[in-house]
Structure 1
Amino acid sequence: MSATLAPGRRWASVTQMSERPAERPADRTEITGPHRSDVYDVWEPDPHRARGVTVALIHGGFWRERYDRHHLAPLARALADDGFHVANLEYARAGMPGGGWPGTGTSVLAQLTAVHADSALPERIVAVGHSAGGHLALWVASADRAPWLTGAVALAPAADLGEVDRLGLSDHAARNLIGACPDDAPQAWADADPARQRLTRPTVIVSGERDDDVPASVIESYLATRTPDDPIHSAVALGADHFAVIDPQAPAYLLVLAEIEELTLATH
């Protein structure tokens, strides 16, 4: 039986950190196509602790080629240690074959579809994206693009492309993604911006109180576009910066873990 998450915002200060075993490599890597971006790594949990849920990680880096999935490997390992199957996705970024818009969105959706078709992974899938990956997680969770998706957790997301552009974040990264300014390609901007789209899967936004990379106004602007019936809520990790929400050694990790757990329980 499914449940809808009510809109709202939570504030949390986490003071405990969990113990972590030694780092370990991915259990396997799956190649899904001809490009070097067509790949994902899988970490498997201890069978006795497995939750029957796949977390599909979507990395950030303001949609640029020089940032890849490997910086989320510590988070992938931590989530696997905590009982999740984890697929750490690569995707085509701006400047790469198939990247830019709409290619970047198409690439992420294709990777998630491949994870959904992976018979060795649980069918219940939560897309967890950070920064630009958070934007993509929100995009995938909108407009019925992935009706089989259990839900999405957007960590410090570049949620509202219009606000990202207004602030000129990361040397106008949004314009680099779209390949044009908003006035020159209004339809492409509308297609890429989850703030202009109907949210169709249960979603959580987790942000850091001290995030200077994606300021609070970006998330506030996105939340202002939501209706009371939208299946979304937000949480803020007190004292956390942009990267603390993906650092398994930071206190914010336990808040992220709790939100993933709650979403999967609410949608079971």
Structure 2
Amino acid sequence: MNEVPVDVPVIVGPGVVADPALLARVAGREFAALGVRGTLVHARDASHLLSLVRDGAVVIPGPEAEVRALIGRPLGAVVWVDTHRADGVEPGEGASHLHGRGLSGLRWGIRHALHRVRHSPLRIPYGPSRDQWGDLYVPEGVPRPPVVALVHGGYWRSIWAADLMEALCADLAGRGLAVWNLEYRRPDTHGWHATTADVATGLATLHALRPRTPLDLDRIAVGGHSAGAQLALRAVADGARAALAVSLAGVLDLVEAERRWLGSGAVAAAMGGREERSSGGADVHGAGSPLLRVPIGVPQLVVQGAADDLDLIDFGRRYAEAAGRAGDDVSYLEQPGDHFDVITPTTSIWRAAAEAITAVLT
């Protein structure tokens, strides 16, 4: 593990529409939570911003064309954070681009920048798209470690990405487990079938690593958070090999999720409208909804924060009951915590989940 940097620079480009004091508060709270010092500087223009950029910097570029042209340049491990949605932005080699998360995107950008300094996973592509890859974390000093494959959530929208799971990757690696953090094409920009195909291919790619990696690929947990749990359990139901399937605050009932307009219509947006789904004659809900696929024939751990969305609590409870009734081996873990506490390493609910995962794999 590399030494934590003394300073995490945050650079705000000219023309960024945000209250400066609020930006400073967001950054300051994140620095304190992560236990690092940081600086926040407002750049006067593109030249000034360029003089401030270095490896590990977090930059909110803003709207000016001269500044935005810098995003594609090879300036090192810079994390570019657009508060608005900005599809199709291609950052320079070694850089990352987060977008569409509002001012809270600054928090995620700081976390991502610090994680990239602390950890160096091996990135392995499984297709030609910039969203078709997995980051492989291998714990030090553990011969043939078991593996946890993680699928991030975000209501199947491309503003959310695999950086959501980085804290869990580090925590699991510290517990002696290898981790495969899977990125995939999201349906809002590529369609539902591309998403499901990517998850299947990404998990199969992990098994294809057998000849060249010291992993125990007979002991794999496949899990996901929120919408990623739906994708993970669907993949296992479709035949992805796993010793354990894990749902972390999962969207496990797509039928009710659509009826209740969960995530402002996230299911319909991801899968297409009812007419589009029925015109091809395929039962997309039946294939995709974990609740309609039980039994899946693999031991399962369903983790749910008691302070989460009431609908997700309902889905988790009903899924665990239905899967158990169908003959699956299911453990249901509900403890205090919200939607993100289940993927936050410092919380009691995640520690309980991690211990349960480790117990099965080791």
User: What TM-score does the superposition give when structure 1 sets the normalisation length?
Assistant: 0.82
Q: Deviations over 1:148-200 (max 9, x none)?
A: 32221110000111121122111110111111238953611211112111312
Aligned 8 A contact 1:26 1:42 in 2? no
- Who is 1:209 aligned against? 306
Aligned 8 A contact 1:126 1:150 in 2? yes
- Does residue 1:103 correspond to 2:194, yes or no? yes
- Who is 2:350 aligned against? 253
Over the aligned positions, Cα root-mean-square deviation in angstroms equals 2.2
Q: 1:183 to 1:59 in 2, by over 3 A?
A: same
- Who is 2:221 aligned against? 126
Letter in 2 for 1:229: G
- Who is 1:3 aligned against? none
Q: Deviations over 1:25-60 (max 9, x none)?
A: 233111111011210111111214x67211111001
- Who is 1:8 aligned against? none
Q: Distance in 2 between matches of 1:253 and 1:223?
A: 18
* Pick aligned residue for 1:33 from 113, 127, 134: 127
Q: 1:78 to 1:46 in 2, by over 3 A?
A: same
Letter in 2 for 1:231: D
- Does residue 1:240 correspond to 2:331, yes or no? no
Q: Higher relative contact order by CA 8 Å / sep ≥ 6: 1 or 2?
A: 1
Q: Distance in 1 between matches of 2:120 and 2:253?
A: 33
Q: 1:85 to 1:213 in 2, by over 3 A?
A: farther
* Pick aligned residue for 1:231 from 329, 351, 356: 329
Runs of 4+ more than 6 Å apart: none
Question: Structure 1 unaligned runs (5+)?
Answer: 1-19
- Who is 2:160 aligned against? 67
Aligned 8 A contact 1:211 1:242 in 2? yes
SS at match of 1:87: strand
Question: Structure 2 unaligned runs (5+)?
Answer: 1-34, 36-113
Letter in 1 for 2:130: R
Q: Deviations over 1:196-239 (max 9, x none)?
A: 113122111011011127531122332343225212221112x2
Letter in 1 for 2:228: G
- Who is 1:13 aligned against? none
Per-residue deviation, 1:64: 0.7
- Who is 2:147 aligned against? 54
SS at match of 1:112: helix
Q: 1:117 to 1:214 in 2, by over 3 A?
A: farther
Per-residue deviation, 1:63: 0.7
Q: Which moved more, 1:243-252 or 1:220-229?
A: 220-229
Structure with the largest fraction of helix: 2
- Who is 1:113 aligned against? 204
SS at match of 1:126: strand
Aligned 8 A contact 1:182 1:189 in 2? no
- Who is 1:17 aligned against? none
Q: 1:181 to 1:224 in 2, by over 3 A?
A: farther
- Who is 2:233 aligned against? 138
Aligned 8 A contact 2:277 2:283 in 1? no
- Who is 2:11 aligned against? none
- Who is 2:174 aligned against? 81
Q: 1:223 to 1:253 in 2, by over 3 A?
A: closer
Q: Distance in 1 between matches of 2:273 and 2:243?
A: 33
- Does residue 1:152 correspond to 2:248, yes or no? no
Q: Find the structure with the greater CA-based Rg.
A: 2
Q: Deviations over 1:57-76 (max 9, x none)?
A: 10010111110001111110
- Who is 1:166 aligned against? 259
Letter in 2 for 1:42: L
Q: Distance in 1 between matches of 2:327 and 2:259?
A: 28
Q: Distance in 2 between matches of 1:110 and 1:54?
A: 17
User: What TM-score does the superposition give when structure 2 sets the normalisation length?
Assistant: 0.62
Q: Which moved more, 1:195-204 or 1:28-37?
A: 195-204
SS at match of 1:225: helix
- Who is 2:286 aligned against? 190
Over the matched positions of the two proteins, sequence identity in percent amounts to: 29
Letter in 1 for 2:194: G
Aligned 8 A contact 1:40 1:87 in 2? yes
SS at match of 1:26: coil
Q: 1:76 to 1:92 in 2, by over 3 A?
A: same
